[in-house]
Amino acid sequence: MWKREGAMKRGYFYLLISCMVVLFAGCGGKGGGNGVGTANSKDYVYKAEEIALEGLNDNSSLRDFYIKDEKMYYTIQEWKEEGSLITVVNSGIDGSDAQSFQMELGANCYFSYFVPDGQGNYYLIYEEYIEEGIDTENYTFQDDYYLMKLDSSGKEVWRQLLSGDGQNGYWVNWMRMLADGRIAVAGQEEIVFYDQDGNADGKVKLDEGLDGGVYFLRDGTAYVYAYEEKTGKALLKKLDLDTGKADGNYEIPGGMNRYSLYPGADCDFMLIGNGGIYSYNLGDKEVKKLMDFIDSDINSSYLYNLNAISEKEFYGMINDDTTGEESLMKFTKVEPKDVKDKTVLTLACNYLDWNVRKYVVEFNKTNPDYRVRIVDYSQYNTDEDYTIGVTRLNTDIVSGKMPDILLLSNELPVESYKAKGLFEDLYPYMDKDEEIQREDYFSNILKSYENDGKLYSLFPSFVIHTVAGKTSEVGTERGWTLDDLNALMAAKPEGTEVFPEATRDSMLYYSMEMSGSQFIDWKSGKCDFNSKGFISLLEFVKNFPETLPDDYYDNPLRGSYDGWFRNGDVLLCRMVLDSFYNYNYTKKGTFGEDITLIGFPNEGGMGSVISVEMELAMSSKSKNKEGAWQFLRYFLMDEYQENLTYGWPISMKHVEALGKKAMEKPFYEDENGNKVEYDDYCFINGAEIVISPMTQAEVDEVVGFLQSVEEHSGNNQELINIITEEAAPYFAGQKNVNEVADIIQNRVQIYVNENR
């Protein structure tokens, strides 16, 4: 449905959900490859060809697309100052013999569910949205939906008001021309039928429990989405449109919510999801994978408006992730024998990082010798259990089925993998690479992730988790202890908070993320969770409330949240330092004076930790290490480092370049190409606060801080789960702190021993 921004109706939301799926690339299939559950990468390759469309330009967008009776129909929308211009085109499937007409739509007029009847006529839903009044007391609106018929020239034949009386709150869930010639329009409560002259021809309500999401086969048979509360399963049921009743239970393998469904040609349904396109026949126990997006070098996050000619030829619309351009594409099966032979590198993960996905496509297109094949283990997760994928990945790894490249995550026992020698040291590859010099990168960040002088993973960017406070309150030195913090809080007025929005659970998680590494030495295997330092930490966490008060955000005695730090109501800010702007805003906006990045209270360090946003490792057993390095090295190169959208580049020169920008005023270019500077500002306590550009001294301070942090965050999820579980009886007053600390020490020691 074509809507102005901000006025999208619920019906359009449902349409998008059914037509677009974010695709997490996965391999599917069984066997082959490097023993990690991959199928032959040649089996799912399709050739993608862009279809040139009449009327599509930089100022317009492709909307509807249909193939019917060997003809192709599509609509293009171009927004104007008042309303929009719609171009309706029909042609042969190859684009020949194109015929078109245009429609002018006024302001606040929209149309959707454009359907050709194959006889030269078109049916559509037309909406007029009328607003009157400028304030809440006098404001009124009317939102009318019509079913319309146009002839082949675009002339209106008739229109029928759908809601009966123009009632507000009505919307259209779907509209379709049925095989018997009737037009079915589904509102919120019922389906109404019309003949081709616009006359009402009956109505029906769906049985209770059927939510109205209807899917049609090629022959017009309807199936409806149904949620079975007893089992928690999403099912398809065959729907009788004349009675509103449905029967049969069809469960799509893996879960219906994984896919967008479209009518098939050689099958019941074509499915889009999990990195590719699948076919499915109702009642089958498996879906059949047809096309893999990455194997086909398609750089798109989703495909929609799928129209199948056969399982070997189909059409659909994509949005290119790199250019942002929308295109209509034809996809044609490439036989495995015709796919160029390349050495296949397997990259395994539990959920795929977006940047990795984009580069895999580019690498596969351009590298003459290697292709990367992705195995995303999240494909094995279910709605009932989201841990199946990571469990299966870990099982494969420890049983010897190690991929060439592994995308690491917090759910994996990474330290165990390193201790077992599963990863390749990357320093020799960096040193041998003529375009890479170790000294060009943050040495402290690299060192933090070393094991006995070896670097077992590569990470292109990082952030620093720290704690900020007013220098006038916490001093100029970085790093402090819990005793220091407690002494400072003792001198503060009653009601002063240490951190904002802090509950006991959130602070336990945060404290372990920030200081948990001081209690484990993975090299020696020694744990220290019954030490005085950890016991003091548990006692500190217990002081926080279990939940926040109901009036936490609107207590008139505290004022608004944006002024708490300036007013002294809250002492410290938990901070993810990811940019110069982040520091500058915290100093000049949040606190309004000099700040110290003092870190979290810590017995043995400065209390700030490094966290990498993406981490990749190479298998020490890979037979294609040079190929794996060709892939990995890209993330250290200028092309990637200078285009990061979040976090600090690990390249020193690119951080320096960001520092220079931070010392400039923000600007834009006017219509004549002139540079126009402006002030950045925020509102604190109702006042406008100018955020001035940084000085060289401020930039140097931040860079110096980045270079000083030596520890990385301790966010092993399994360890945090153990500590959270065993600390609960202490927080509930059921056990004393020493008893709980001993239990945690014992459990964590066992875990560490098993995973070294």
The pLDDT, as a whole number, for residue 536 is 93
Helix axes 532-542, 717-731, angle to 10 degrees: 70
pLDDT > 70? residue 305: yes
The helix (H) or strand (E) run that includes residue 480 is none
At 345, the pLDDT band (50, 70, 90 cuts) reads very high
Q: pLDDT (tens digit, 9 = 90+) per residue, 355-371?
A: 898 899 999 999 999 99
Tokens of 232: 């928690």
pLDDT > 80? residue 167: no
Tokens of 574: 């938990």
At 136, the pLDDT band (50, 70, 90 cuts) reads low
Whole-number Å distance between alpha carbons of 482 and 404: 44
The pLDDT, as a whole number, for residue 28 is 33
pLDDT > 90? residue 331: yes
Sheet holding 405-407, edge to edge: 370-376, 343-349, 405-407, 616-618
| Residue at 588: amino acid letter | K
Q: What are the start-end ranges of the H helices in 120-255?
A: none
The pLDDT, as a whole number, for residue 79 is 86
Q: pLDDT (tens digit, 9 = 90+) per residue, 20-64?
A: 333 333 333 333 333 333 446 789 999 999 988 877 777 888 888
The pLDDT, as a whole number, for residue 325 is 78
pLDDT > 80? residue 568: yes
First to last CA, the chain: 56
At 134, the pLDDT band (50, 70, 90 cuts) reads low
Distance from the Cα of residue 300 to its chain's centroid: 14
Whole-number Å distance between alpha carbons of 317 and 326: 7
The pLDDT, as a whole number, for residue 415 is 85
Tokens of 96: 């020949």
Range in 142-146, 155-159, 459-463 the model is least confident about: 142-146
pLDDT > 80? residue 113: yes
CB neighbour list of residue 557: distance below 8 Å, 6 or more residues apart = none
Query: What is the arithmetic mean of pLDDT over 84-108?
Result: 88
Mapped onto helix, strand or coil, the DSSP state of residue 143 is strand
Tokens of 129: 């949205």
The helix (H) or strand (E) run that includes residue 686 is none
Class of domain 344-460+613-658: alpha beta
Q: pLDDT (tens digit, 9 = 90+) per residue, 469-499?
A: 999 999 999 999 999 999 999 999 998 999 9
Distance from the Cα of residue 539 to its chain's centroid: 37
Please tell me whether the overall predicted TM-score, pTM, comes out greater than 0.75 for this model.
yes
What average pLDDT is seen over the chain?
87
Whole-number Å distance between alpha carbons of 98 and 243: 40
pLDDT > 60? residue 219: yes
Question: What does DSSP say about strands 343-349 and 370-376: parallel, antiparallel, or unpaired?
Answer: parallel
At 16, the pLDDT band (50, 70, 90 cuts) reads very low
The pLDDT, as a whole number, for residue 7 is 33
The pLDDT, as a whole number, for residue 606 is 83
The pLDDT, as a whole number, for residue 23 is 31
Whole-number Å distance between alpha carbons of 106 and 176: 25
Question: What does DSSP say about strands 648-649 and 260-263: parallel, antiparallel, or unpaired?
Answer: unpaired
Whole-number Å distance between alpha carbons of 549 and 555: 10
712: nearest Cα among 484, 520, 487, 440: 520
pLDDT > 50? residue 587: yes
pLDDT > 70? residue 754: yes
pLDDT > 90? residue 413: no
Buried b (16+ CB within 10 A) or exposed e, 664-695: eeeeeeeeeeeeeeeebeeebeeeebebebbe
> Any idea where the domains of the chain sit in the sequence?
344-460+613-658
Tokens of 20: 């677009």
Query: What is the arithmetic mean of pLDDT over 314-329?
Result: 84
Bridge partners, residue 246, by sequence: 239
More confident residue, 437 or 213: 437
Mapped onto helix, strand or coil, the DSSP state of residue 282 is coil
The pLDDT, as a whole number, for residue 522 is 79
What secondary structure does DSSP assign to 358-418, as a single string? HHHHHHHHH-SSEEEEEEEGGGG--SS-TTHHHHHHHHHHHTT---SEEE--TTS-HHHHH
pLDDT > 60? residue 99: yes
Query: What is the arithmetic mean of pLDDT over 497-518?
Result: 92
Mapped onto helix, strand or coil, the DSSP state of residue 220 is coil
The pLDDT, as a whole number, for residue 300 is 79
502-507 CB contacts, 8 Å cutoff, 24+ apart: 502/544, 503/544, 503/545, 503/546, 503/547, 503/548, 504/541, 504/542, 504/544, 504/545, 504/546, 504/731, 505/546, 505/724, 506/544, 507/541, 507/544
At 564, the pLDDT band (50, 70, 90 cuts) reads very high
The pLDDT, as a whole number, for residue 636 is 97
The pLDDT, as a whole number, for residue 81 is 82
Whole-number Å distance between alpha carbons of 202 and 182: 10
Highest mean pLDDT range out of 70-79, 108-117, 306-315? Answer: 306-315
Buried b (16+ CB within 10 A) or exposed e, 354-373: ebbbebbbebbeebeebbbb
The helix (H) or strand (E) run that includes residue 627 is helix 625-632
Rg, the chain, Cα only? 30
The pLDDT, as a whole number, for residue 438 is 95
230-239 CB contacts, 8 Å cutoff, 24+ apart: 232/383, 232/384, 236/282, 237/210, 239/206, 239/210, 239/214
At 133, the pLDDT band (50, 70, 90 cuts) reads low
Question: What does DSSP say about strands 71-79 and 84-92: parallel, antiparallel, or unpaired?
Answer: antiparallel
Whole-number Å distance between alpha carbons of 515 and 604: 9
The pLDDT, as a whole number, for residue 552 is 86
339: nearest Cα among 307, 383, 371, 303: 371
pLDDT > 70? residue 260: yes
595: nearest Cα among 701, 691, 471: 471
More confident residue, 14 or 233: 233
Range in 58-72, 345-359, 463-477, 584-598 the model is least confident about: 58-72
Q: pLDDT (tens digit, 9 = 90+) per residue, 683-738?
A: 888 889 999 999 999 999 999 999 999 988 877 788 889 999 999 999 999 999 99
At 635, the pLDDT band (50, 70, 90 cuts) reads very high
The pLDDT, as a whole number, for residue 36 is 36
The pLDDT, as a whole number, for residue 15 is 32
pLDDT > 50? residue 521: yes
DSSP assigned state of 15 = H
The pLDDT, as a whole number, for residue 21 is 33
Mapped onto helix, strand or coil, the DSSP state of residue 254 is coil
Return the percentage of the chain with pLDDT > 90, whole number: 63
Tally: H helices and E strands in the chain:
18, 42
Residue 470 contacts residue 496 (beta carbons within 8 Å): no
Q: Quickly count: other Cβ atoms within 10 Å of residue 44's Cβ.
A: 26
